[in-house]
């Protein structure tokens, strides 16, 4: 089971940190990926981190502003979001896959999803 938290309302240029907490059984040896879905749009890949943290991948639209990391001791993956833009407004989901490198970007590769956390960036 994956549980996201940390979403909220923030002004453009602000920051948020999202968390994705998993059970120990879920977390070991998996890639965790953040996706997002804006109203009226398809869900899209944001960032991924493989189980040993050795490989990280970002969508071009978030490179340099968002940072993904994981704390294996806490079974948690974080998404630090800086210099947020109104176009970052979306429901953010974390998902897991047993595939390692390269971390997949397609939704179909992910069997386990969280319920999502809303991020709203005002202009």
Supply the pLDDT for residue 23: 78
pLDDT band (50, 70, 90) for residue 27? low
> What percent of the chain lies above the pLDDT cut of 90?
77
What is the C-alpha to C-alpha distance for residues 113 and 4, in angstroms, rounded to an integer? 10
**pLDDT: is 37 or 26 the higher one?**
37
Structure tokens at 53: 């943290």
Q: What mean pLDDT comes out for the span 44-57?
A: 88
Contacts of 108 (CB under 8 A, 6+ apart): none
The chain-wide mean pLDDT, for the chain, equals 93
Q: What mean pLDDT comes out for the span 51-72?
A: 90
Structure tokens at 33: 């990926």
Q: What mean pLDDT comes out for the span 7-20?
A: 98
pLDDT over threshold 90, residue 26: no
What is the C-alpha to C-alpha distance for residues 22 and 37, in angstroms, rounded to an integer? 21
pLDDT over threshold 70, residue 53: no
What is the C-alpha to C-alpha distance for residues 75 and 25, in angstroms, rounded to an integer? 9
Q: How many CB atoms lie within 10 A of CB 61?
A: 14
């Amino acid at each position: 089971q994956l549980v996201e938290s940390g979403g909220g309302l923030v002004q453009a240029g602000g920051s948020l940190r999202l968390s994705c907490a998993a059970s120990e059984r879920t977390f070991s040896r998996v890639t965790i990926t953040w996706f997002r879905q804006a109203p009226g749009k398809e869900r899209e890949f944001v960032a991924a981190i493989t189980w040993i943290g050795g490989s990280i991948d970002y969508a071009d639209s978030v490179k340099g502003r968002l940072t993904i990391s994981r704390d294996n001791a806490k079974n948690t993956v974080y998404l630090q979001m800086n210099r947020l833009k109104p176009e970052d407004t979306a429901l953010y989901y974390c998902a897991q896959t047993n595939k390692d490198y390269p971390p997949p970007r397609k939704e179909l590769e992910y069997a386990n999803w969280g319920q999502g956390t809303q991020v709203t960036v005002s202009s």
